Structure 1
Amino acid sequence: MGRRPARCYRQIKNKPYPKSRYCRGVPDPKIRIFDVGQKKRSADDFPLCVHLVSWEKENVSSEALEAARIACNKYMAKHAGKDAFHLRVCAHPYHVLRINKMLSCAGADRLQTGMRGAFGKPTGTCARVRIGQVLLSVRCRDANAAHAQEALRRAKFKFPGRQRVIFSAKWGFTRFKRDEYLKLKSEGRIVPDGVNAKVRTKPRCIARNDKIITKLINACMVNSG
């Protein structure tokens, strides 16, 4: 018996059904690698970020996620270079799909019970995706913007429904906008932390002491005047 088409499970109808001690025997998802490329490069190296955003509420199978990852990675490695990008799959297939197998051979009516006890057995996994959720993200240099856009456009054909390729206003995978990141970097207040970045701030006790010292200096100047 072949694999049931993913279009049968595309609509989100029921509650999430994750793998647990009550849901055993779940086959492994087809996608095992969610970060591809130069995933250890600093946030300063890749300022541009491009997203593939879902425009529908639907289920996306793990096979579709793996196919999209392979297509995007292959195009970027060929045209931009394998050392010039970082690809991340943001959707994770935690929802378990079930199937109530039916026999179709001769004499099957004696063996199966039809819709009596129709709660199926696990057959695969998928990701529950909402409108506006990011499916894939690529960070790279500004010179490879066209390659990243085309790679995500090709990956879009592996998914059902509608998706859009959007250029992010953020710096890479960080939470800072471009102008904000450059401003903090020029002030020496930002510290790269892997693919992210942290803002260097004063400890609360030091900031409180600075306020006290400022008040004392102002009081002394008033008294001397």
Structure 2
Amino acid sequence: MPLRPGRCYRKLERPYTRTKYIHGAPYAQIPKFEMGATKPKERERFTHVVALFPLASGQIRVNSLEAARQMAYKYLSATLTDQNFYLKLNKYPHHVIRENKMLAMAGADRLQEGMRQSFGVPTGRAVQIKRGDVLFYVEVEEKNVNHAKIALKRAMSKLAITCRMVTAKKGEPLLILGREESLA
């Protein structure tokens, strides 16, 4: 059965996260959350931070998160090499998505139950993110800030929610939607 479009799961619902009680909950399917120069000693020379945050609250499925991560990482590693940046995915997909599967064929009305027992089965995972929370951030040297912006712009194209970028010097708070926020 094909995957439903991301717009079906974009709205923020109450969290459904207790995998202890959810049998058959799929894994997160994101192999890495930190890429590039991950050791603290290697990251000392990075002077700037470029962060990506959504303009609206919502859910982002793990498929689009992984696609965005891969787009940003491939661009950064090709242009800067792995030792010249630090990319981090700041959120974890805890929310389990359920789907009440419907049959779409001749005679389906005799086979399926409709909305009777319509709770659904676990089909995927998603990140529940609030407006202004940092989703991705990249630490780079000052000369590579434009490359970091291009990488996050490419990642934005894979996400179902409208996002913005903000740049700041490392150690200074980020100004996101009129409020100051620090990454540490």
Note whether the superposition's TM-score is higher than 0.5.
Answer: yes
Q: Give matches, 1:49-68, under 5 Å.
A: 49-68=49-68
**AA in 2 matched with 1:71:** M
The structure in which a higher percent of residues are helix is 1
Aligned residues: 174
Instruction: Give the gaps of 5 or more residues in structure 2.
Output: 174-183
**Equivalent residue number for residue 90 of structure 1:** 90
How big is the shift at 1:148? Answer: 0.7
Measured in 1, the distance between the counterparts of 2:106 and 2:71 equals 43
**Equivalent residue number for residue 166 of structure 2:** 166
Measured in 2, the distance between the counterparts of 1:78 and 1:15 equals 39
Instruction: Give the gaps of 5 or more residues in structure 1.
Output: 179-195, 197-225
Identity of aligned residues (%): 37
**Root mean square deviation, CA, Å:** 1.8
Measured in 1, the distance between the counterparts of 2:148 and 2:70 equals 14
- Say if 1:19 and 1:26, in contact at 8 Å, map to a contact too: no
- Say if 2:60 and 2:161, in contact at 8 Å, map to a contact too: no
How big is the shift at 1:19? Answer: 3.7
SS of 1:165's partner is strand
Q: Are 1:177 and 2:158 an aligned pair?
A: no
SS of 2:20's partner is coil
SS of 1:23's partner is coil
**Equivalent residue number for residue 17 of structure 1:** 16
SS of 1:98's partner is strand
**Comparing both chains, which one has the higher relative contact order based on Cα–Cα distances under 8 Å and sequence gaps of 6 or more?**
2
**AA in 2 matched with 1:167:** T
State the TM-score, normalized to the length of structure 2.
0.88
How big is the shift at 1:31? Answer: 1.6
- Say if 1:93 and 1:125, in contact at 8 Å, map to a contact too: yes
- Say if 1:37 and 1:85, in contact at 8 Å, map to a contact too: yes
Query: What whole-Å deviation, never above 9, does each CA across 1:52-110 have from its counterpart, x for those lacking one?
Result: 11111111011111111111111111112221011000121111111011122333222
- Say if 1:49 and 1:140, in contact at 8 Å, map to a contact too: yes
Measured in 2, the distance between the counterparts of 1:102 and 1:162 equals 30
Q: Are 1:109 and 2:109 an aligned pair?
A: yes
**Larger Cα-atom Rg:** 1
SS of 2:82's partner is coil
How big is the shift at 1:20? Answer: 2.1
How big is the shift at 1:165? Answer: 1.0
SS of 2:91's partner is coil
**AA in 2 matched with 1:21:** K
Measured in 1, the distance between the counterparts of 2:91 and 2:19 equals 19
Q: Say which is worse superposed, 131-140 or 106-115, in terms of deviation.
A: 106-115
How big is the shift at 1:166? Answer: 0.4
How big is the shift at 1:125? Answer: 0.4
Q: Give matches, 1:1-225, under 5 Å.
A: 1-12=1-12, 14-42=13-41, 43-169=43-169, 171=170, 176-177=171-172
SS of 2:97's partner is strand
SS of 1:168's partner is strand
